[in-house]
Amino acid sequence: MDRFSWSNGLLEINETLVIQQRGVRLYDGDDKAKLDVGVALLSTHRLIWRDSKNHDCCIAMPLFQIIFFEEQAAGIGKSAKIVIHLHPVPANKEPGPYQHSKYSFIRLSFKEHGQIEFFRRLTEEMTQKRWENTPVSQPIPTGTGSQAGRIRAVGIVGIERKIEERRKETDKNISEAFEDLSKLMVKAKEMVELSRSIANKIKDKQGDITEDETIRFKSYLLSMGIANPVTRETHGSGTHYHLQLAKQLGTMLQAPLEERGGMMALTEVYCLVNRARGMELLSPEDLVNACKMFESLKLPLRLRVFDSGVMVVQLQSHSEEEMIASALDSVSDKGSLTAEEFAKLLGLSVLLSKERLLLAEKMGHLCRDDSVEGLRFYPNLF
């Protein structure tokens, strides 16, 4: 323990933290040190120990003081330890917690485990000896008074320099990211213009465009998304904008709803629509307001709100009786079902599957068993 010197715990310039481990107690040879449990830090140059409660109590020892080290297995009521054998005390060593010690080795006792990884990293550092290739700019030991103040300032300068380097690297990465985003936006605008041009050609039948070519053009437009999305710039704001948007949604959502069994959660609709619109994204509020106008415009879609507050868009032809009958048939065939199992059977989301089961329960066709294993539905035999 007399190889340790008092330290401020700050890393010097060119010094890098390798690993740290909490719950480590120091032993002076076979004797327990007078220090409490703390944090052991291994850097490229030093072994540092800091008290967990009193952070001002910090000691450090250069790695070149180590001769060799070994593991000591844990026993009954004893923690695993790393035994470190040391060179004699150098003549110019700064003061530390121990002035003299009868032992030439110390032990690190790991109360919260972690000794295996710490031993591995210590082995790597002692093999590489990075302290020889990148010496720190200031002596590692610390003293008291003005000398300690100067070394602390050096440590702060090093930290500030690292922070500044990280800030510059972050600024560089952000600039590159926005540069890529700008290029993407330019390409997106070109694609929208191309899709509008194709849409106009199909609409006006300019040139000799055959029926097969028209079908092929429409398939290209479908892969690109919505050719002419309704925006506030083209249709103003307020009610008129939401009316035009509702009409466009009615056309766009017809096929996806039929593929998904006639019903989609509003969150799914939001993602699908914005993916198709490209750069002209919709806000959640505009989507809800447009969906509320389906019924007044006599479109084949409806916005529905379940008792739980879940909002869905469904086909007008999608009847509640069919949903209840489907849920009852599936539960009766399987004996019982959870929302997850029902979702796999129908190919729906778990959220919509649960709402269907709850609706069937509300109408008295199903009953539930809510246990630690989850919510399971059974046919109501009463």
Phi, psi (5° rounding) for residue 51?
A: -65, 135
Confidence of residue 302 (pLDDT cuts 50, 70, 90): confident
**Of the candidates 254, 270, 227, 380, the residue with the CA atom closest to the CA atom of residue 314:** 254
State how far the Cα of 81 lies from the Cα of 380, in Å rounded to an integer. Answer: 63
Confidence of residue 34 (pLDDT cuts 50, 70, 90): confident
Kindly state the percentage of the chain with pLDDT values over 70: 77
The alpha carbon of residue 56 and the mean position of all alpha carbons in its chain are separated, in whole angstroms, by: 35
Q: Residues near 52 by Cβ (< 8 Å), separated by ≥ 6?
A: 22, 36, 37, 38, 39
Confidence of residue 142 (pLDDT cuts 50, 70, 90): very low
When pLDDT is averaged across residues 73-98 and rounded to a whole number, the result is 85
State how far the Cα of 223 lies from the Cα of 148, in Å rounded to an integer. Answer: 68
Same domain, 332 and 250: no
Number of domains composing the chain: 3
Burial class (CB in 10 A: 0-12, 13-18, 19+), 75: exposed
Same domain, 38 and 103: yes
Domain of residue 373: give its range: 320-379
Residue 216 forms part of a structural domain: no
When pLDDT is averaged across residues 158-172 and rounded to a whole number, the result is 76
234 token code pair: 């083209």
The rounded radius of gyration (Å) of the Cα atoms in the chain is: 36
Residue pair 337/350 in contact (Cβ under 8 Å)? The answer is no
Lowest mean pLDDT among 33-42, 114-123, 161-170, 209-218: 209-218
Residue 292 forms part of a structural domain: yes
State how far the Cα of 69 lies from the Cα of 63, in Å rounded to an integer. Answer: 11
**Residue 186: its pLDDT value, please?**
63
Residue pair 257/302 in contact (Cβ under 8 Å)? The answer is no
Residue 226 forms part of a structural domain: no
Same domain, 30 and 75: yes
Same domain, 95 and 16: yes
> What residue has token string 């035994």?
83
**Residue 208: its pLDDT value, please?**
55
State how far the Cα of 88 lies from the Cα of 101, in Å rounded to an integer. Answer: 10
When pLDDT is averaged across residues 214-228 and rounded to a whole number, the result is 54
Task: Tell me which of 131, 166, 200 is where a domain ends.
Answer: 131
Residue pair 355/306 in contact (Cβ under 8 Å)? The answer is yes
pLDDT tens per residue, range 319-343: 778 788 888 888 888 889 898 988 8
Task: Tell me which of 85, 100, 131 is where a domain ends.
Answer: 131
Q: 40 has which bridge partners?
A: 21, 49
Dihedral over Cα of 319, 324, 327, 330: its sign: negative
pLDDT higher than 80, residue 99: yes
The CATH number of whichever domain residue 326 belongs to comes to 1.10.10.10
The CATH number of whichever domain residue 88 belongs to comes to 2.30.29.30
Percent helix / strand / coil, the chain, rounded to 5: 45, 20, 35
State how far the Cα of 372 lies from the Cα of 8, in Å rounded to an integer. Answer: 52
Task: Tell me which of 131, 163, 179 is where a domain ends.
Answer: 131
When pLDDT is averaged across residues 19-44 and rounded to a whole number, the result is 88
Same domain, 18 and 120: yes
Confidence of residue 206 (pLDDT cuts 50, 70, 90): low
Dihedral over Cα of 118, 120, 122, 125: its sign: negative
Same domain, 15 and 127: yes
When pLDDT is averaged across residues 139-154 and rounded to a whole number, the result is 42
> pTM of the entire structure?
0.38
Dihedral over Cα of 290, 276, 320, 327: its sign: negative
When pLDDT is averaged across residues 348-362 and rounded to a whole number, the result is 86
Same domain, 283 and 367: no
